[in-house]
Structure 1
Amino acid sequence: MDPRALLRRAGLEAKALPVPLHGGDIARVWRVGPYVVKLAENPPPGLFAAEARGLAELGKRGVRVPPVLHVAEEGLVLAYLAPGKEDWEGLAAMLAHLHRQREAAYWAEPGFLGTFPLPGRQGGEWTEFFFLRCIEPFLKATWERLEGLGPQVEALFRDPLPTEGPAPLHGDLWHGNVHFAQGGPALLDPSFFVGERGVDLAMMRFFGGFPPVFWRAYEALYPVPEAVARALPRYQVYYLLAHVHFFGQGYLGALWKAISAF
């Protein structure tokens, strides 16, 4: 994979040599002068288009994201945001502003968590929406590897989840998708949809990486009700099923712990 080939097809030029950047498990990422180029071999159709849409949706709602300069089936070209100092309080303000916004209904376009395809869905009651859009597809994909935990996962969503109102979400908000850039923090690699902010909070709590200074600032701006805090393990089941799918049964212990917490 040559990132300069995608730049040429995009009508962009950079004299600098490609410099590899951290790109996770899905794509290889390079900085080429003022550009960031993401490429993947045989990605699922629509993967990078969905990422570009998610960045655009976050940007429209006041979140700083890298500008998308070109979208292709095999990759993306983004503007390079030079690294800056950590600003956890600035990140908290940006996320509180995002999560406070309200939309008319829950909705999601067809998209991805990692490379796993998720269906689109429009409207309806939140618990059913979240189960059918986020939980059920992973349950079907992992059922034979769950060692009997599948029915217990289903039972978690028989009772309603707490609701605050439809809010725009990053959807895959672990610390690796936060970039502290010059001029302020930015978010990367979204799995955007409109749901309840507990989904984002659950992922942020699940992997850690968000220090106390962040949580103090976020809570001061947008306090988390006790009912939402209690529901976070139910949302974490979504990401744990994804980890079972991508990485195997080593995550069953954590899945059982999340189930038992409810």
Structure 2
Amino acid sequence: MNKTIQSSLQNLGDHSAIESLHQVAGGDINEAFYVSTRENSYFIKTNEDIPTHFFEVEAKGLELIRNTNTIRVPYVYYFDRPENGASGAIIMEWISSSPQSDTAERLGRKLAKMHQFENDRYGLEDDTFVGTLAQPNGLFEDWIVYYQTKRLLPQFELANRQGVMNHERRNKMEQLISQLEKWIPKRPGASLLHGDLWGGNWMAGPDGEPCLIDPSVVYGDRSFELAFTELFGGFPKQFYEAYNDMHSLPSNYRDTKEIYQLFYLLVHLNLFGESYGRAVDRILASYIG
């Protein structure tokens, strides 16, 4: 990957010598590196055999969040648009981590402010990714139609193709998808959402300033975002208290939480297999019986 890094730096316009390069934690999808040249320090992610727009989607999502002026995201210096099958990179600013005792509280307040930025329709004009899976989008007047046709149905159909949707699970999924209007609102606020906000996709920057990374942005019900923060942990109670003080949780949040978590569990079922099947079945049973 060093050739990819060197080539991307040159495309950026940094032709100076690399003084330090070492691999760092960067998730399960990409290889991630700290790279220091004579001109600057960078966080660089690389990958092989990715769609041409893979890193462009990330850059656009970060820019949408940045434009709200509510919460920090890393600045993107450059990203490749590789030909299919080729390797590519995205080059961002290096943010030193320095968590403070109030970082989670500040994150809650800033995310609440970000969620106050709303669109007049749900979804997104461009297709994105959730993990390595393609995420189809589009703009919709009705949140239920978007969540049904662009979120649950694609994951349900993929699970069928991959053989992780047994007969009982399939029947309950079909019933739930056809009856979504019973549980989720048709026209909630269309908030700007990070879209993939688990504990690994936020960090504390300098002086404890919270920073969002690796978004999969979408305009939708903010309960969809908050439900995912509760699925795999990583968010202390101070986060939720501060969020609620700034932007009160929707009155039906507890009723919708699991049906929104279902989407992310289906994603994990499709990516990692039956180890997530029991959690999917538990949610289906709570809504369908």
Q: Same fold (TM over 0.5)?
A: yes
Asked whether the equivalents of residues 47 and 115 of structure 1 are also in contact (C-alpha less than 8 Å), the reply is no
Structure 2: gaps spanning 5 or more residues = 83-87
Larger Rg: 2
RMSD between superposed Cα atoms in Å: 1.5
What's the CA shift string for 1:239-258, capped at 9, x where partnerless?
11110111011100011112
How far did residue 30 of structure 1 move?
A: 0.4
1:104, 1:27 → 2: CA distance?
34
The residue number in structure 1 matching 2:60 is: 53
Residues 78-157 of structure 1 mapped to structure 2, 5 A cutoff: 78-86=92-100, 87-108=103-124, 109-143=126-160, 144-148=163-167, 149-157=169-177
How far did residue 154 of structure 1 move?
A: 3.1
Does residue 175 of structure 1 match 2:207?
no
Distance 1:61 1:150, change over 3 A: farther
Q: Could you tell which deviates more after superposition, 96-105 or 13-22?
A: 13-22
How far did residue 133 of structure 1 move?
A: 1.2
Does residue 218 of structure 1 match 2:218?
no
How far did residue 67 of structure 1 move?
A: 0.4
The residue number in structure 1 matching 2:72 is: 64
Distance 1:14 1:172, change over 3 A: farther
Residue 244 of structure 1: which of 263, 266, 269 is its match? 269
How far did residue 36 of structure 1 move?
A: 0.7
Q: 2:12 is aligned with what amino acid?
A: A
2:141, 2:175 → 1: CA distance?
20
The residue number in structure 2 matching 1:25 is: 28
Q: 2:128 is aligned with what amino acid?
A: G
How far did residue 14 of structure 1 move?
A: 5.5
How far did residue 206 of structure 1 move?
A: 0.4
Q: 1:115 is aligned with what amino acid?
A: T
Distance 1:159 1:140, change over 3 A: closer
1:240, 1:147 → 2: CA distance?
15
Does residue 232 of structure 1 match 2:257?
yes
What's the CA shift string for 1:137-173, capped at 9, x where partnerless?
1111111312121232232231321253111000000
2:251, 2:286 → 1: CA distance?
14
Please give the secondary structure, in 2, of the residue aligned with 1:61: coil
Please give the secondary structure, in 1, of the residue aligned with 2:28: coil
Q: Could you tell which deviates more after superposition, 36-45 or 11-20?
A: 11-20
Distance 1:64 1:156, change over 3 A: same
Please give the secondary structure, in 2, of the residue aligned with 1:16: strand
How far did residue 9 of structure 1 move?
A: 2.6
Structure 1: gaps spanning 5 or more residues = none
Tell me the matched-pair count: 262
Question: Once the two structures are aligned, what percentage of the paired residues are identical?
Answer: 28
Q: Could you tell which deviates more after superposition, 158-167 or 197-206?
A: 158-167
